[in-house]
């Protein structure tokens, strides 16, 4: 069993997305998925075809299948896949690796979600390969949504707020300008916007827009948890109306890059 499998065998992704800060991410991301799904559906003669690569336990896959979309899910971790299959018979679910989607032909899907895999790929080559595979299985004119964990969120939250920064600097884990170094011993890889831009250019994908799906929510978890329902509803509204603002992107814990295969 790999370290990644060990981690996700214990990590409750559903619980995270159902938490207050997780609801912010899910609500915002689903808004954009639904927006582009509706736009793409207008061009489809049959049901809109969605593939969720790195589907986890199916939080997005199941919700989209329940809305009537034709959903295929690919998940590396058997434990997650088992939970997903128990949730819904409406999702075609397979074990697979984002780096090699040979089960699927070119141009098979209208909308491709790549939310988990890019968190855990440390080399430029693997990142390009995963994004290239997502591009290959997406039809021309289709949309790819790729999620990343952001560098400066980790530096601020885990480095300074949780007081690990001195140790990390002394161990040579950050560059002089506080970029976290690629490290295959770590579960997560951390990106900056310029790295995402370079990745898109290397793969040949055009950005439609990029959003911060959780914005400041990960920084203020106790505040969110203490909010009454009316205040939390206003926060969700605030987040949705501000998640595209450029000055908020790099410091968000995640970004979702919305790309088109031309």
Q: What is the pLDDT of residues 82-129, one digit of tens each?
A: 999 999 889 999 999 999 999 999 999 999 999 999 999 989 999 999
Instruction: Quote the Cα angle for 145-148-154, to 5°.
Output: 160
- Residue 239 confidence (pLDDT): 96
Mean pLDDT score, 170-197: 92
Which burial class, exposed, middle or buried, applies to 248 when counting CB atoms under 10 A from its CB (0-12, 13-18, 19+)? middle
pLDDT in tens, 26-80: 999 999 999 999 999 887 767 899 999 999 999 999 999 999 999 999 999 999 9
Q: Do 148 and 117 contact (CB within 8 A), yes or no? A: no
* Distance separating alpha carbons of residues 55 and 62, to the nearest angstrom: 10
Answer whether residue 10 shows pLDDT above 80.
Answer: no
- Residue 47 confidence (pLDDT): 86
Q: Which domains does the chain have, with CATH numbers?
A: 3-150+188-260 (3.40.50.150)
pTM of the model: 0.93
Answer whether residue 11 shows pLDDT above 70.
Answer: no
Q: Do 30 and 60 contact (CB within 8 A), yes or no? A: yes
H-helix or E-strand spanning residue 147: strand 138-149
């Amino acid at each position: 069993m790999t370290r990644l499998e060990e981690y996700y065998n214990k990590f409750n992704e559903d619980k995270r997305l159902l938490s207050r800060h997780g609801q912010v991410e899910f609500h915002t991301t689903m808004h954009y998925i639904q927006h582009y799904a509706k736009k793409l559906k207008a061009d489809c003669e049959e049901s809109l075809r969605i593939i969720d690569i790195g589907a986890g336990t199916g939080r997005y896959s199941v919700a989209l299948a329940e809305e009537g979309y034709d959903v295929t899910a690919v998940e590396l971790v058997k434990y997650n896949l088992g939970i997903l299959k128990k949730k819904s018979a409406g999702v075609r679910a397979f074990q697979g690796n984002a780096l090699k989607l040979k089960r699927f032909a070119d141009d098979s899907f209208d909308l491709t979600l790549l939310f988990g895999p890019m968190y855990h790929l440390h080399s430029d080559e693997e990142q390009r390969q995963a994004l290239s595979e997502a591009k290959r299985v997406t039809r021309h004119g289709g949309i790819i949504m790729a999620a990343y964990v952001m560098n400066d969120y980790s530096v601020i939250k885990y480095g300074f707020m949780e007081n690990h920064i001195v140790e990390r600097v002394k161990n040579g884990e950050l560059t002089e300008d506080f970029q976290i170094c690629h490290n295959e011993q770590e579960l997560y890889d951390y990106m900056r916007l310029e790295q995402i831009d370079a990745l898109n250019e290397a793969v040949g994908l055009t950005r439609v827009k990029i959003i911060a799906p959780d914005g400041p929510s990960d920084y203020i978890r106790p505040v969110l948890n203490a909010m009454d329902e009316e205040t939390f509803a206003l926060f969700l509204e605030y987040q949705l109306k501000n998640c595209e603002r450029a000055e908020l992107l790099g410091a968000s814990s995640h970004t979702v890059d919305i790309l088109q295969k031309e």
